[in-house]
Amino acid sequence: MNKEINIEPSWKEALNCFFATKNFSNLADFVRQEYLSKKIYPKPEEVFKAFWLTPFYSVKVIILGQDPYHGIGQAHGLCFSVPDGIAPPPSLKNIYKEIEDDLSTKKNYQDGNLEPWAKQGVFLLNAMLTVVAHQPASHSKKGWEEFTDTVIKTLSDKRENLVFILWGNYARSKKVLIDSKKHLILEAPHPSPFSAYSGFFGCKHFSQCNEYLKSNGQKEICW
């Protein structure tokens, strides 16, 4: 990762104060060395993919994940999403189940690529944007969280009428960064098989999200 960050221009402008900090410089140095010495996911050119697919002023919905998938071929820069040809992981299958129940629609369980969501304004942000292969949370507390917290707070401060979807305790801990008077915050347990039956199933976040967008004059998401 270069210190001269290759990120979509509207995001670069929104976050330029953070990119000028010593903390970001240190993060860039760390990530670059990790790519040189270890197997890191996703590919370097996909680290900021969520930002390229969903420019700052196109964001309508934010879904927050924790860190990228650490298995071969899974991570491609969007939380919960996998590239074409990769089987959807269990959490994503549970997300599809909830969409089907909530919206009375059918999902293709062979297709786990969520790029169509991102292109509609669903910002699929992980709290950490890189991970060592087969080592979950290996890039935790290296500087990514400060960056993504800044992203969340900047969206909250500079935009209005966004939908923040927070699944699981880690994502819900980010609620303090969001102005609930300006935005809709939807919270539920994580869609993981370990917690989906504790309140994720039946949360109806997808219909609530669309109702909020529609009530604020925005186009609904085709989930």
- Bridge partner list, 64: 125, 166
Q: What are the structural domain ranges in the chain? A: 9-215
Predicted confidence band at 220 (pLDDT cuts at 50, 70, 90)?
A: very high
Are β-strands 122-126 and 131-132 bridged in parallel, bridged antiparallel, or unpaired?
A: unpaired
Q: Across residues 118-146, what is the average pLDDT?
A: 97
Q: SS3 for 42?
A: coil
Which residues form the catalytic set? 67
Q: Across residues 44-71, what is the average pLDDT?
A: 97
What is the Cα gyration radius of the chain? 17
Predicted confidence band at 2 (pLDDT cuts at 50, 70, 90)?
A: very low
The structure's pTM equals 0.96
C-alpha count within 13 angstroms, C-beta hemisphere, residue 96: 17
From first CA to last CA, the distance across the chain in angstroms is 32
Give 9-215's CATH code, choosing from 3.40.50.300, 3.30.465.10, 3.40.470.10, 3.40.50.10490. Answer: 3.40.470.10
Q: Is the dihedral of CA 30, 24, 58, 60 positive or negative?
A: positive
Q: How far apart are the C-alpha atoms of 62 and 187, rounded to whole Å?
A: 12
Does 123 score more than 80 pLDDT? yes
The CA distances from residue 218 to 100, 114, 161, 215, in Å, are 22, 20, 9, 7
Tokens (6 digits) for 20: 């000028």
Q: What is the pLDDT of residues 155-206, one digit of tens each?
A: 999 999 999 999 999 999 999 999 999 999 999 999 999 999 999 999 999 9
Does 3 score more than 80 pLDDT? no
The CA distances from residue 155 to 34, 36, 110, 158, 222, in Å, are 29, 32, 32, 5, 22
